[in-house]
């Protein structure tokens, strides 16, 4: 009984603490997208950086990835499967 009382009081305490955080302070997805669009529309270089942030544009990494994917392709049973494996491998590690 004493343990149950302690747990319920701690839950009430946490509820009380987190009730001060207003949900209006949290940004919506639309607001986050608008901020990102404003950040990315400053200059041509920031636009390119925003569009390519998910990709690795290093030439040495590209050739390493191509070599690894070619090894996977060569281990396939048929040519068609090799092409599919190579394509998936190149898409996976963008």
Cβ(50)–Cβ(39) below 8 Å: yes
What tens digit of pLDDT does each residue of 14-27 get?
676 666 655 556 66
pLDDT at 58: 72
| pTM of the full structure | 0.42
pLDDT at 16: 67
What tens digit of pLDDT does each residue of 29-54 get?
788 778 877 777 777 777 777 777 66
- At 5, is the secondary structure helix, strand, or coil? helix
Cβ(94)–Cβ(69) below 8 Å: no
pLDDT at 23: 54
Cβ(85)–Cβ(70) below 8 Å: no
pLDDT at 67: 92
85 contacts: CB under 8 Å, gap ≥ 6: 69, 72, 73, 76
């Amino acid at each position: 009984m004493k343990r149950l009382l302690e747990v319920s009081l701690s839950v009430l305490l946490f509820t009380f603490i987190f009730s001060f955080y207003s949900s209006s302070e949290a940004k919506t997805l639309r607001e986050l997208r608008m901020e990102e669009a404003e950040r990315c529309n400053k200059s041509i270089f920031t636009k390119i950086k925003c569009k390519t942030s998910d990709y690795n544009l290093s030439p040495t990494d590209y050739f390493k990835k191509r070599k690894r994917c070619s090894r996977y392709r060569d281990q396939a049973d048929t040519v068609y499967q090799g092409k599919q494996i190579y394509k998936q491998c190149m898409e996976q590690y963008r």
